[in-house]
Amino acid sequence: MNSEQIFRFIFFALWIVIGVIRGYYARRVRLQGGRMTVDREAVKHEGRMGMGLRLSVTILIVGTIALYAFVPDRIARLRLPFPDWLHWFGAGLGILSLPLMIWVHRARSAGNGLPVCKYSHSINW
């Protein structure tokens, strides 16, 4: 395995772990009677433009990651000429961010002073 293959493996492993963490806490919210889906009240609160922008960005990110996974030559022109050490630094930051992500999800789901608005992703103090 060369350096690029190892980096790609770590990159996709991070995305999978992030998805598992998010899925686990989304399931906990659903089991506690919360909602994780978009409904009319959410669209009313966030606005059609905001919801459309959120959907567009999600599709763009997922599409780009899928292209990077299955046909990386198709997006080779998007590659920025950063040195290898910077790629590995970013991978390390991604790995270090996982415990912080778990901590934030635990704090939000525990209800210990950080209630989340019903239809938005903002935290009320």
Copy the structure tokens of residue 70: 């299955």
State the pLDDT confidence band at 100, using cuts at 50, 70 and 90. very high
Confidence check: pLDDT of 38 > 60: yes
**What local confidence, expressed as pLDDT, does residue 85 receive?**
92
Query: H-helix or E-strand containing 90?
Result: helix 84-110
Q: Which amino acid is at 71?
A: V
Residue with the larger pLDDT of the pair 57 and 28: 57
Please tell me the least confidently modeled range out of 45-54, 57-66, 80-89, 104-113. Answer: 104-113
Residue matched to tokens 């992703």:
121
- Domain residues of the chain, as ranges? 3-110
Q: Give the mean pLDDT of 26-55.
A: 80
Copy the structure tokens of residue 56: 């567009």
**What local confidence, expressed as pLDDT, does residue 31 receive?**
81
Give the CA count within 13 Å in the CB-facing half-sphere of 76. 5
Q: Distances in Å between the alpha carbon of 36 and those of 39, 41, 51?
A: 9, 13, 14
Q: Which DSSP category does 118 fall into?
A: S
**What local confidence, expressed as pLDDT, does residue 88 receive?**
93
State the pLDDT confidence band at 114, using cuts at 50, 70 and 90. very low
Q: Which amino acid is at 62?
A: V
